[in-house]
């Protein structure tokens, strides 16, 4: 997984940059013995920062992706159990604001021999449910990796969701602790570099004409600028338009 994430690039103003420039993490049971060990040798290419708590680091990951205009995506990883659920608030905020962030946490053992696991929240009426399922309502893409070869399909699908302006938002991947340690002979082509050209949403001619008509007829016009102004790269154009005509501008949370 780490090797594949490193192969993902993005184009920013004609320059190629890592799509995933870093990882916020708090490591414990569920993500330390395999994922952390895989990340460590690549710390120069994929730097890691230790969070003080899961809530703040996941929100920081979301803030980074927002500041980078959704053209780069930060990763946040936690242990299984409450460490995982502590990221739910950030997932919900990213979901509401369409901010891509990759959330990865440990999950139960798929063989279920080790049961119960320390701090693992379980539903004894349905052993297939874990705390990871709490992310389903607040993510754009959710999956639990139950076989190593599953990531051949899951990772490209997850990234496709995050880099599309129409579907951008948080992605959650649950990594069962036993599956993390499994080996698989992946095809070499799976790790070939991929440069993502993130689409810039263009203006709709009819909507622009309608907005112009409203502004022209208004006695006290006001422009309410949403996140689309930022993500489409139209900040300078909107600013110049408003300043030339003396129209005040207010911003939404996005």
And the tokens for 98? 């369409």
- Say how far apart CA 112 and CA 43 lie, in whole Å: 32
And the tokens for 199? 């689409």
Q: What is the pLDDT of residues 199-225, one digit of tens each?
A: 887 788 999 999 999 999 999 999 999
Q: What is the pLDDT of residues 138-171, one digit of tens each?
A: 999 999 999 999 999 999 999 999 999 999 999 9
pTM (2 decimals)? Answer: 0.90
The structural domains of the chain, with segments of one domain joined by +, span 2-196, 205-251
Top-confidence residue, 30 or 184: 184
The DSSP code for 169 is -
Q: What is the pLDDT of residue 120?
A: 61
Please tell us whether the domain made up of 2-196 is placed in CATH 3.40.50.970: yes
Q: What is the pLDDT of residue 125?
A: 78
Q: What is the pLDDT of residue 119?
A: 61
Top-confidence residue, 81 or 55: 55
């Amino acid at each position: 997984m780490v090797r594949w994430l490193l192969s993902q690039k993005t184009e920013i103003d004609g320059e190629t940059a890592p799509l995933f420039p870093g990882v916020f993490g708090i490591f414990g049971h569920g993500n330390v013995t395999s994922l952390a060990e895989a990340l460590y040798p690549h710390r120069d290419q994929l730097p890691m920062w230790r969070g003080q708590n899961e809530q703040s680091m996941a929100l920081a990951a979301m803030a980074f992706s927002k500041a980078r205009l959704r053209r780069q995506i930060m990763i946040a990883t936690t242990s299984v159990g409450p460490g995982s659920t502590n990221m739910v608030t950030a997932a919900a905020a990213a979901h509401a604001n369409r901010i891509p962030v990759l959330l990865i946490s440990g999950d139960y053992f798929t063989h279920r021999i080790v049961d119960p696991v320390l701090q693992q929240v379980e539903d004894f009426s349905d052993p297939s449910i874990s705390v990871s399922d709490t992310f389903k309502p607040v993510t754009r893409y959710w999956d639990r990796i139950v076989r190593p070869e599953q990531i051949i399909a899951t990772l490209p699908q997850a990234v496709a969701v995050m880099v599309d302006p129409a579907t951008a938002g948080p992605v959650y991947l649950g990594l069962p602790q036993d599956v993390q340690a499994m080996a698989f002979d992946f095809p070499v082509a799976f790790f070939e570099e991929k440069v993502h050209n993130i689409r810039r949403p263009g203006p709709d001619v009819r909507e622009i004409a309608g907005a112009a008509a409203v502004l022209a007829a208004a006695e006290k016009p006001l422009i309410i600028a949403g996140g689309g102004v930022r993500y489409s790269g139209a900040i300078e154009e909107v600013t110049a338009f408003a300043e030339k005509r003396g129209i005040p501008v207010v911003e939404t949370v996005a």
